[in-house]
Structure 1
Amino acid sequence: MRTLFSLALFCLVLSTTYSQGPNPPEIEAQQRIKQVIETFFDGFHKQDSSIIKSTVADRVVLQTTGKDQEGKTRFREEQFAKFLNSICSIPDSVKFEEKLTSFSIQVDRTMANAWVGYEFWLNNEFSHCGINSFQLVDFDGEWKIIYLIDTRGKAGCMEE
């Protein structure tokens, strides 16, 4: 009876410990995905198209959504080449920074989603905030961004 009780207790502890969180491979994948996103923004801030290109797949999709001044939802897609050109052509006199404020990363096999909060600052003044939603695929051990959509707005940005 004691042996049966001990075995049942051991199984309960083991199953509780196992269900506490993601397994080590998932944590490692989440760290690698976060690094890809941070590298993307490193290239963004340095205005270096080669760094940005190293983080994305060949056919990356970029989209944005938000409300206009009349409160209507707007949605648009941007060509990746146009995005790169716009970032790389920002004059040195303009200081910009996208501060990443939070990360939530989910992984399933070769697919991942990263929900990344941000604040955008232009010439040291707050401009807007929102969420970057990244979709990534693991191409034989290398995570690449395949899709990015972001929201933009001013309401609720700086609340603690």
Structure 2
Amino acid sequence: MKQILLVIILLSFNVVTAQNEKEKVKNTIDSFFESFHNQDSVTMKKNVSEKVIIQSIGENQIGGTVVNETSFSDFLKSISSIPKDISFKEELLDYQISIDGSMANVWTPYKFYFNDSLSHCGVNSFQLVKINGKWQIIYIIDTRRKEKCE
């Protein structure tokens, strides 16, 4: 009986630990977007690794799929250059978080609003790594579309 109780306790501990890590990963994503919406490049930098990669999947003029890459410094410049009288918000609709040791993947469908009007929607995929006890975003790729955003 004691062995069964010990196994149940150990399994419960593993579930709680996994949920804690998922919450920490989610907090990293939330902090990134909070600083994004506030145009706070200092805080945004705290959530990413020095060598973060940012890519976007879209279509070219003839409907072919293209992958565009943006440096993080160019991304920060574009965010900070948005005039304060223009509103923008990326609304994350869900978080699907998978973790294996020091690596995490987060899949977040989203809708992007520009001046309170729906601009586009898609999915973000984040890769994170846990370094020195802190989750950092190392890779972001997203899709963008104007149709089927319901």
SS at match of 1:107: strand
Match of 1:96 among 80, 85, 88: 88
1:131 aligned onto 2:130: no
Which is higher, the Rg of structure 1 or of structure 2? 1
Other-structure match for 2:22: 30
SS at match of 2:143: strand
Match of 2:106 among 114, 118, 126: 114
**Alignment-mate amino acid for residue 107 of structure 1:** I
Distance 2:59 2:72 in 1: 22
Q: Percent identity?
A: 41
Other-structure match for 1:145: 137
Moved over 3 A (4+): none
Structure 2 length normalisation: TM-score? 0.89
Offset, 1:72: 1.2
Instruction: Within 5 Å, give how 1:34-45 maps onto structure 2.
Output: 34-45=26-37
Deviations 1:65-100 (A, max 9, x none): 022353211111101000000001100121100001
1:87 aligned onto 2:79: yes
Structure 1 length normalisation: TM-score? 0.84
Q: How many residues align?
A: 144
Instruction: Report the RMSD for the aligned CA atoms in angstroms.
Output: 1.9
Distance 2:148 2:107 in 1: 17
SS at match of 2:19: helix
Offset, 1:52: 0.3
Other-structure match for 1:46: 38
Distance 2:143 2:95 in 1: 15
For structure 1, the residue ranges without an aligned partner over 5 or more in a row are 1-6
**Alignment-mate amino acid for residue 149 of structure 1:** I
For structure 2, the residue ranges without an aligned partner over 5 or more in a row are none
